[in-house]
Chains A and B, each alone.
With several copies, the nearest count.
Chain A
Amino acid sequence: MDILSVAVQNLTSAPVLAFALGLLAAAIKTDLRLPEPIYQAISIYLLLGIGIKGGVALSNAEFQEVGLPILGTLLLGLTVPVLAFFLLKLLKKLSVVDRGALAAHYGSTSLVTFTAAVIFYESVSISVEGYLTTLLAILEIPGIIVGLMLASRGLRREVSWGESFREILTGRSIFLLAGGLVIGFLTKSTGFAGIEFFFVALFPGVLTLFLLELGIVAGRRLKDLKKAGIGLVVFGIVFPLLSGTLGVMTGHLTGLGIGGAATLGVLSASASYIAAPAAVRLALPEASPGIYLTASLGITFPFNLTLGIPIMLEISKFLESAGL
């Protein structure tokens, strides 16, 4: 399949179309919203389900297989936010605090982008190593912490790191992902069989509903684009290409296959809009949500969902054929 038809297939997949429908719903101001408790429950379902699946995969993997990718991912988690922070200097209007907040978002990662990528890759017969979920969990936290630390240089007040760390580490995202990994690892394929239906067969459909809601929320962010300025829009599209390429390379260098490396690229390219905003809002109230949410949810998320996912696959194929 050539790149164009892959891109078209991604753009006409049900989750992406549902996202577009959500954007439209926001644009014409319907009062459509997924009720808050449903949104919460779906988050829990996605996080726990992805964790469990990853844990099962991990229980089937060899340690030497997983060791290097984990190391590479950790490195990504520390590098990407620093890179973002310094590149953002080019946008003169941004304060140090806002740059740090953005670094935290781009250093972390987006569960939904990851999921959409895996579902899409498998629908075009590209297999993805199951333990990529482990990498997702690993990439979630460090970037946020690095970003907060970078931001704190711009603060005139003391930061209570203890409280902030506690809030980040006991946050539900990481708790459910990690907990799911352990459950999956212990229950193995045998124990997983009974719940596979719920956590695997339903998954793409639930994701479709969730993306409808994310489309609505992202659509509401779009009106802030003008305030945010063209510089931020460019950053929100170009930076993921950069960090994504880094991710794909890391994948290839640490032994992942084409699909796995592409997925690590997507992980690296994606910006958090759940864990990071919550942490940043509490620890860095001086940073403007109008900037970091607009960039991560209003620009980078739609970009990755539609174009980033097939692009990372192409980059991964290219690197593979280049013999990396």
Chain B
Amino acid sequence: MLKDRKLIVVVVEAALEQRLSKDILTRGAKGFTITHANGLGPRNQRAGDLEGGNIRLETVVPEEISLKILELLKTSYFPHYACSAWVSDVQILREDRY
């Protein structure tokens, strides 16, 4: 009864919350969950030290959508922004929601 999906986690500076959310949805994700986060990474160059840390966005999507999102990150986020992302396998119950 469980179906396979991909979980993408993206950590990015908080100023990009709106933009990333929109971009993710236009790539075909049907939903996402965001928590506020802090962190450290190899780049660690950052605007808005004042404007609060990172966001951690996670979205459960079919594999083909996950590839589109990764492509998006590669072209529009990784080059300029403090951004981390990873993908893993998850399983879900309600197929039509993800």
Contact = CB atoms under 8 A, between A and B. Distances in A.
A contacting B, Cβ–Cβ less than 8 Å: yes
Interface of A: 31, 36, 39-40, 217, 220-221, 273-274, 277-278, 280-282, 285-286, 288-290, 293, 297
B50 interface: yes
19 contacts: A31-B17, A36-B36, A36-B52, A39-B52, A220-B49, A221-B49, A277-B47, A277-B48, A277-B50, A278-B48, A278-B51, A281-B13, A281-B47, A281-B48, A282-B16, A286-B80, A289-B45, A289-B48, A297-B50
Contacts of A217: 49-50
Contacts of B18: 31
A112 B49 CA distance: 16
Interface string B27-50: 000000000100000000111111
A190 to B, nearest CB: 31
B81 interface: yes
Contacts of A288: 45
Contact of A285 (B17, B36, B49, B80): B80
A202 to B, nearest CB: 22
A274 B51 contact: yes
7 nearest interchain CB pairs? Answer: A285-B80, A281-B47, A289-B47, A36-B52, A277-B47, A281-B15, A217-B49
Nearest to B16: A282
Given A277-B47, A293-B47, A282 B15 contact: yes
A150 to B, nearest CB: 19
B94 interface: no
The binding surface of chain A is classed by DSSP as: helix
Given A277-B47, A278-B47, A280-B47, A40 B15 contact: no
A217 B19 CA distance: 21
B62 interface: no
Contacts of A280: 47
A124 to B, nearest CB: 29
Interface of B: 13, 15-19, 36, 45-53, 79-81
A173 to B, nearest CB: 11
Contacts of A293: 47, 49
Nearest to B51: A278
A282 B17 CA distance: 11
Given A39-B52, A281-B13, A282-B19, 12 more contacts: A36-B53, A39-B50, A217-B49, A217-B50, A273-B50, A274-B50, A277-B51, A280-B47, A285-B80, A288-B45, A293-B49, A297-B50
Nearest to B13: A281
A295 to B, nearest CB: 13
Contact of A290 (B15, B17, B45): B45
Contacts of B17: 31
Nearest to B46: A289
A278 B45 contact: no
A286 B76 CA distance: 12
A275 to B, nearest CB: 10
A273 B50 CA distance: 8
Nearest to A292: B47
Q: Which of B13, B53, B79, B80 has the largest number of chain A CB atoms within 10 A?
A: B80
Nearest to B47: A281
A39 B36 CA distance: 15
A220 B50 CA distance: 11
Nearest to A288: B45
A40 B47 contact: no
B91 to A, nearest CB: 26
Nearest to A282: B15
Contacts of B52: 36, 39-40
A285 B50 contact: no
Contacts of B81: 285
A282 B19 CA distance: 9
Contacts of A281: 13, 15, 47-48
A298 B2 CA distance: 40
A40 B36 CA distance: 14
